[in-house]
Amino acid sequence: MQIRVVPDQPWSVAADVLAVPVFAGDLAGADGEALAELDRRLGGAIGEYRRLGEVSSELFRRVMLHGQDLGAPWLLAVGAGDAAAFDRRTAYRFAAAIERRLAGLHVSRLAVWLPSSVVTSGATTTGAAAEAPMSAADLVMLVARGVTEGSYDPATIYRESYDEAPAALDELVIVVRGADVAALQAAAERGAVIGEGARVARDLANRASNDVNPEVLADAATDLAKAHGLAIDVIGPERATEMGMGLFMAVGRGSDNPPRLIVLRNGGDGEHDARGRLLALVGKGVTFDSGGISIKPSDRMEEMKMDKTGACTVIAAIVTAKRLAPDLPLLALAPAVENMPGPHSTRPGDIVKALNGKVVEVQNTDAEGRLILGDALTYAERLGATHLIDAATLTGAVERAFGKQVTGAFGTPQGWYDTVVAAGARQGERYWQIPLVDDYVRDMESWYADFQNSGPADGSLVKSGLFLREFVTRPWVHLDIAGTAYMRRPMPWAPRGATGVSHATMVELALEGANPA
Ligand code: BES
Ligand code: MN
Ligand code: ZN
């Protein structure tokens, strides 16, 4: 898909469809005049449809109108809410919702008009004082990212043809008044690359567990590494055992599909980025989580193919970062295992020793993510990581607490947590902090080991973070994406399935390291 940013008037742009945001109330100044001119060129249809209520500012309500006297034969009116509330998150979703509305239609050139009112709205994703208002470049980046991701649909992974497949665009024209078209063009291209990376993550995550096992995930990572010039090391069971990764090795024992610790790297030994960091992205890669001997109920167990999403996200994120900043030193670690019951499975009560020497009682084999992440975090530090971020579908509790729209996050020290959340906000991704309350540590005490991997259910979300904290000594943030990693039903801006959540946060965070503070 070619992207062009043009400073033209929306009615003069040649395209198959021109998408136009519909805001509550009237647009002011030049925007108001431009909208009135569009309406005139449609013989007053926009106004009539609005009075009828067919076209409205309701978020992502989409109505196709005949374009009549426009450069595009069709005008897509897209509800965009209150202009003053149009933040980065809404910008991304607005763009993805436009592209998704074109599914099944014969459209190859899409134009999106961004009136200046949205650029100057000042709305922020977090509401935090530290979050800078969205600039024209931010907006254009998010729209390009949104359109790129909006054309992703998992319905075609396992079948040849699908009627409702998203439109494959040849060209996206972003129509925006901006002083510096060249800078906006660069921002748009950056957004498209981030969107393409999210598609890689989503596609891997959506694939079935009989298709993607740890070995297949490692092969996919190897292909990506070769294609993009990243170094890769795939650690199999013999080496992992020899190194002492007892937590990692405890989980995959019940499966015929052996574990793989996937390690991707850009930059040489001892290299740091422009901020003196070597960031490690760590992702949980449980290719299927049956619970093991502590087996899960059968209801919704099929969703546990998604338990590899964190791994898919970090594999895609290091590739995206490499494309955008080829010389940036960066690490990605994806411990991949299948958690199954079987004669060789780890049992509740088994005692295992972590790579960092700590002794753990496996009280519940379904709390497996924290086991594989514990060793992966230790190993990331051994490889020289100075800063860590992990993404994991770690607990059902996080979805019960925050639902499918907010990712729960932990971190220490607070300054690093704030840095990560600010990077996420720049990409329209939203996190809420869960406290690492020391008082609960004693709930995880074990008679035989240094601690156990679960404990009483009260405060179990906090305890999942406390467990991981035992395996880090450097600035670290943990994102629990169990609620936000996949949708059970389609949204205007996303199909059912993997969402790619936190891919953009990780890329944005890593890219900070391309420039000195
Ligand atoms: N993969 C699950 C968490 C999960 C649940 C992800 C639902 C997505 C949707 C994780 O391995 C798990 O089983 N966690 C347990 C932890 C408990 C045993 C302490 C849970 O949340 O019940
Ligand atoms: Mn589990
Ligand atoms: Zn799991």
pLDDT of 133: 85
Eight-class DSSP state of 491: B
Instruction: Give the pLDDT means over successive 10-residue stretches in the chain (517 positions).
Output: 96 98 93 97 98 98 97 98 94 98 96 89 76 90 98 93 88 90 96 98 98 99 98 98 98 98 97 98 99 98 98 99 98 99 98 98 98 99 98 98 98 98 97 98 97 95 98 99 98 97 98 95
H/E/C letters for each residue in 241-257?
A: HHHCCHHHHHHHHHCCC
pLDDT at 183: 95
Atom of ligand 1 nearest to the CA of 393: 6
- C-alpha to C-alpha distance for 241 and 352, rounded to whole angstroms: 12
Structural domain boundaries of the chain? 2-201, 207-514
Instruction: Identify the pLDDT of residue 160.
Output: 84
Distances (CA, A) of 216 to 35, 199, 212: 52, 18, 5
Q: Check pocket membership of 395 for ligand 1, CB cut-off 6 A.
A: yes
Q: Is 177 exposed, middle or buried, given 0-12, 13-18 or 19+ CB atoms closer than 10 A?
A: middle
Amino acid letter, 89: R
The single residue listed with the structure tokens 């690492």 is: 436
Nearest CA to ligand 1 atom 3: 395
Query: Is the separation of the CB atoms in 146 and 196 below 8 Å?
Result: no
Q: Rounded to an integer, what distance in angstroms lies between the CA atom of residue 182 and that of residue 170?
A: 20
Cα–Cα distance, 224 to 218 (Å, whole number):
10
Question: Which token pair is 119?
Answer: 């650029």
CA of 187 to the centre of ligand 3 (A): 36
Alpha-carbon distance of 406 to 53, in angstroms, equals 31
Q: Is 375 in the pocket of ligand 1 (CB under 6 A)?
A: no
Q: What is the strand order of the sheet 350-353 is part of? A: 350-353, 359-362, 451-452
Q: Would the CB of 393 count as within 6 Å of ligand 1?
A: yes
Q: For ligand 1, what atom is nearest to the CA of residue 296? A: 13
Q: Cα(303)–Cα(289) distance, rounded to whole angstroms?
A: 9
Q: Whose CA is nearest to atom 7 of ligand 1?
A: 396
In the numeric block, which tokens belong to residue 305? 């193919």
pLDDT at 164: 85
Supply the mean pLDDT for the chain.
Answer: 96
- Helix, strand, or coil here: 484? coil
Cβ neighbours for 337, distance < 8 A, ≥ 6 positions apart? 214, 248, 251, 252, 255, 259, 285, 286, 287, 368, 372
What sign does the CA torsion over 154, 159, 165, 166 have? positive
Alpha carbon distance 185, 175 (integer Å): 11
SS3 of residue 415 by DSSP: helix
Cα dihedral 200→203→209→215 (10° resolution):
-20
The helix/strand/coil state of 421 is helix
Q: Tell me, in angstroms, the distance from the centre of ligand 3 to residue 288's CA.
A: 8
255 CA distance to ligand 3 centroid (A)?
15
Q: Is 454 in the pocket of ligand 1 (CB under 6 A)?
A: yes
Cα–Cα dist 216/229, whole Å: 20
What number of other Cβ atoms are within 10 A of residue 53's Cβ? 9
- Residues with a catalytic annotation lie at 296, 370
Which pLDDT score is estimated for 121? 72
Minimal CA–CA distance to 167: which of 186, 154, 148? 148
- Domain 207-514, CATH number (from 3.30.565.10, 3.30.950.10, 3.40.630.10, 1.10.1200.10): 3.40.630.10
Give me the percent of the chain exceeding a pLDDT of 90.
Answer: 92
Instruction: Please identify every residue whose CB atom is under 5 Å from ligand 2, which is an ion.
Output: 289, 366, 368
Matching CATH topology for 2-201 and 207-514?
Answer: no
CB 224 near ligand 1, within 6 Å: no
| Pocket of ligand 1 contains residue 367 by CB under 6 Å | yes
Regarding the beta carbon of 307 and ligand 1, being less than 6 Å apart is answered: yes
Mutational test site, ligand 1, from 303, 366, 487, 499, max ligand atoms within 8 Å of CB: 366
Instruction: Judge contact between 339 and 295, C-beta under 8 A.
Output: no
List the one residue out of 123, 315, 295 whose CA is nearest residue 216: 315
Contact 213, 225 (CB under 8 A): no
CA of 290 to the centre of ligand 3 (A): 8
Record the pTM. 0.98
Superfamily the domain 2-201 falls into: Leucine Aminopeptidase, subunit E, domain 1 (3.40.220.10)
